[in-house]
Amino acid sequence: MTVAATTDALADLEVDLLVLPLSSRPAAPRVEALARPLGDSLRRAVEDFDGETGTSVLVYPEADAVPRIALVGLGDPAELDRERLRQGAAAGAQAAIDRTAASVACIVPPADLNDGIIAQALVEGLILGGYRYRRYRTDDDAPDLESILLHVAGDVDRAAVRDGIDTGTALARATCTARDLVNTSPHDKTARQFAATIRESGDRHGYDVDTWGEDRIREEGFGGLLAVNRGSFEPPTFSLLTWRPDHAVNTRPIVLAGKGVVFDTGGLSLKDTKGSMDMMKADMGGAAAVVGAFEALADLNVPLHVVGLIPASDNRPGNKAYVPGDVIQIHSGATVEVMNTDAEGRLLLADALSYAQSLDPRLVIDLATLTGSQVVALGADAAAVMTSETEDAAERLYAIQRAGERSGDRVHPLPMYDAYKQHLDSSVADLKNVGGSEAGAITAGKFLEHFTGEAPWLHLDIAGPAFLTQPKPYRPEGGTGFGVRLLLTYLNDAVTIRQNRDS
């Protein structure tokens, strides 16, 4: 797929569909300027269209050059922001899918934002809104969207638009990679197959991938990952991803750890099928976001040294499966009394977080579809973010929340008071793997915290936003790729802040 900007006359654009984003109160001169080349039917359609965010209507103009136009709503012009631009553009992408359009041009609307930001948001909306997962479909031969053009005015900041297009394209594509990984059938993504897919991604995008097999995992003492894997026919893997460009501004790495439970049956603490186990192919959504983030880091040549850690296994009942009451030992040496085999993600993440300490990281971020409790608290519209209550906690939380607002991958903080740790007290081991029925997302966060060290750490529980059973604007049913755009936005801020401070 190609994505580019153009200043050609509207009537000269040879595309299957022209997307025209309109606010609820479009300025009369703008409508006139559009109606002149495109015709009177457009003027009448604009009069009738209320411009509500994300709605669309199709128009067939008299002008031969443009076969059809989708008017898409941007809502109140006073409230126009990146998210509404994405949602409007996504409505245009939906119209393209409905009309099986292979080429689309989108007219860049006026907005009180920098030209690059506008271009980025539109491209994200068009690519993410046009996403379909077709690997297993035998009844769908519709063409893919092959080209996207942004129609810009002659006086825009060309360099900023180019930059916005490149950033938006890379972020949206990487998000689609994460979606594909989540949507893949469990039998096509065993831990070893998943690791092989990550290596292919590394080869294609230019970052390094090293995968440990079961022997190495045992040698390194990853008792959490091994315990979760015991009921499986398939061995576990631990993948280490490295992006370290010569121009990296940090020496000590930023570590991204992702929960890679390729299928979670709950193990012997078996899940119900409906509304629970039937979604658990998405339990590697955190790992998928890390893979997507590495693709975007490499595609955008981001000047940061970043290491990704992905422990992967399925969680199944089986003859050898771990059982409630088992006491296991994590990489750190700490012992855990397993009270529920369905609280498995924290066990393999504990190994990864403990291992991360050996890399002397400057920051550790983990992403995990960790708890049903996160879904109850925040649903699918925001992930929960937690961090250790150190002096700089508020600043860190504020920064990631801001990145969440701007990227559209929203996060909301949960408290991490000491009192919550007591829920994990065990009479036989250092701690239990589950708290009580209360504050489940937080006690899971406190469990993970036990395995972090001095380095600043952010935990993102993405259980709700990672996978949808009902579509949302520019997020289809199934895997959403949540976290990719959040991470890149947050990390890019880190670069900018550092460069400003150092200069």
Chain residues binding ligand BES by CB under 6 A are: 264, 279, 283, 340, 342-345, 369-373, 375, 434, 440, 463
DSSP track, 80-146: --HHHHHHHHHHHHHHHHHTT-SEEEEEPPP-SS-HHHHHHHHHHHHHHHT----TT-SS--PPPP-
Residue 106 binding target from Zn ion, Mn ion, ligand BES, none, CB below 5 to 8 Å by type? none
Pick the piece of the chain touching Zn ion (CB under 5 A) from 36-44, 264-272, 419-427, 477-485. 264-272
Residue 363 binding target from Mn ion, Zn ion, ligand BES, none, CB below 5 to 8 Å by type? none
CB of 464 to ligand BES, least distance (A): 7
Q: Which residue in 54, 168, 178 sits closest to 122, CA to CA?
A: 168
Q: What is the CA radius of gyration of the chain?
A: 24
The dihedral built from the CA positions of residue 440, 442, 443 and 445, taken in this order, carries a sign that is positive
Q: Which residue among 346, 406, 432, 485 is the active-site one?
A: 346
Q: Among all residues, whose Cβ is closest to ligand BES?
A: 372
Burial label, 247 (beta-carbon count in 10 A; 0-12, 13-18, 19+): exposed
Residue 349 binding target from Mn ion, ligand BES, Zn ion, none, CB below 5 to 8 Å by type? none
CB of 264 to ligand BES, least distance (A): 5
- The answer to whether 240 and 307 are in contact (CB under 8 A) is yes
Pick the piece of the chain touching Mn ion (CB under 5 A) from 128-136, 137-145, 216-224, 334-342. 334-342
Pick the piece of the chain touching Zn ion (CB under 5 A) from 262-270, 403-411, 473-481, 487-495. 262-270
Residue 463 binding target from Zn ion, Mn ion, ligand BES, none, CB below 5 to 8 Å by type? ligand BES
Q: Which residue among 179, 271, 281, 432 is the active-site one?
A: 271
CA distance 423 to 434: 8
Q: Cβ closer to Zn ion: 16 or 283?
A: 283
- The answer to whether 258 and 156 are in contact (CB under 8 A) is no
DSSP track, 297-340: HHHTT-S--EEEEEEEEEE---TT---TT-EEE-TTS-EEE-S-
Pick the piece of the chain touching Mn ion (CB under 5 A) from 337-345, 372-380, 397-405, 428-436. 337-345
**Residue 274 annotated in active site:** no
The kind and range of the H/E element at 416 are: none
- Residue 472 is classified by DSSP as B
Residue 115 binding target from Mn ion, Zn ion, ligand BES, none, CB below 5 to 8 Å by type? none
CA distance 240 to 208: 8
Size of the site for Zn ion (CB under 5 A): 4
Pick the piece of the chain touching Zn ion (CB under 5 A) from 49-57, 220-228, 260-268, 289-297. 260-268
Among 83, 264, 351, 461, binds Zn ion (CB under 5 A): 264
- The answer to whether 304 and 323 are in contact (CB under 8 A) is no
Question: Is residue 124 at the binding interface for Zn ion, with CB under 5 A as the rule?
Answer: no
CA distance 167 to 425: 46
Question: Is residue 115 at the binding interface for Zn ion, with CB under 5 A as the rule?
Answer: no
**Residue 346 annotated in active site:** yes
CA dihedral 174→179→185→187, nearest 10 degrees, is 40
Strand partners, 22: 73
Residue 373 binding target from Mn ion, Zn ion, ligand BES, none, CB below 5 to 8 Å by type? ligand BES
Question: Is residue 264 at the binding interface for Mn ion, with CB under 5 A as the rule?
Answer: yes
Question: Is residue 342 at the binding interface for Mn ion, with CB under 5 A as the rule?
Answer: yes
Positions that interact with Mn ion (CB under 5 A): 264, 342, 344
As annotated, the active-site residues are 271, 346
